[in-house]
């Protein structure tokens, strides 16, 4: 899990499509966010409620967070798992889980 957090973290912060959303988040919170994100998508939606996802991303939606950004995050997540040798079928499952909170993340 630590390897996944590390790779995913670098990908997210290095991706010009989405990195600006993390600009004013301090490093500790960023790392905690990545861990919480991965725990959620690997462990299942029971760990977080839709309301949590709405609340924690509401400010970002006001700053323009949209489907293209969610697509980018899911793409980077898949690339991370691929690098770690995770099977395509499992990657697809994780992607579907991340996708299942899309409407909550985007406040709709």
Instruction: Write out the residues near ligand HEM by the rule CB under 6 A.
Output: 18, 21-22, 25, 29, 33, 36-37, 40-41, 48, 56-57, 59-60, 65, 69-70, 73-74, 98, 101, 105
User: Considering beta carbons, is residue 86 or 95 the nearer one to ligand HEM?
Assistant: 95
User: Considering beta carbons, is residue 25 or 87 the nearer one to ligand HEM?
Assistant: 25
**CB 55, CB 108: distance < 8 Å:** no
User: Considering beta carbons, is residue 87 or 100 the nearer one to ligand HEM?
Assistant: 100
Task: Tell me the C-alpha to C-alpha distance, in Å, between residue 85 and each of 53, 77, 88.
Answer: 29, 13, 9
Instruction: Count Cα atoms within 13 angstroms, Cβ side, for 39.
Output: 10
Task: Tell me the C-alpha to C-alpha distance, in Å, between residue 46 and each of 40, 52, 68, 100.
Answer: 8, 11, 25, 12
Minimum distance from CB of 1 to ligand HEM (Å)?
A: 14
Minimum distance from CB of 87 to ligand HEM (Å)?
A: 21
User: Considering beta carbons, is residue 21 or 91 the nearer one to ligand HEM?
Assistant: 21
């Amino acid at each position: 899990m630590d390897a996944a957090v590390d790779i995913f973290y670098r990908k997210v912060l290095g991706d010009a499509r989405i990195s600006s959303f993390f600009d004013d988040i301090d490093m500790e919170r960023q790392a905690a966010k990545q861990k919480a994100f991965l725990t959620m998508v690997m462990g299942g939606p029971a760990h977080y409620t839709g309301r949590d996802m709405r609340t924690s991303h509401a400010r970002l939606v006001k700053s323009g967070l949209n489907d293209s950004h969610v697509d980018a995050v899911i793409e980077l997540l898949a690339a991370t798992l691929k690098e770690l040798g995770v099977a395509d079928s499992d990657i697809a499952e994780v992607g579907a889980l991340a996708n299942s909170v899309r409407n909550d993340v985007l406040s709709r």
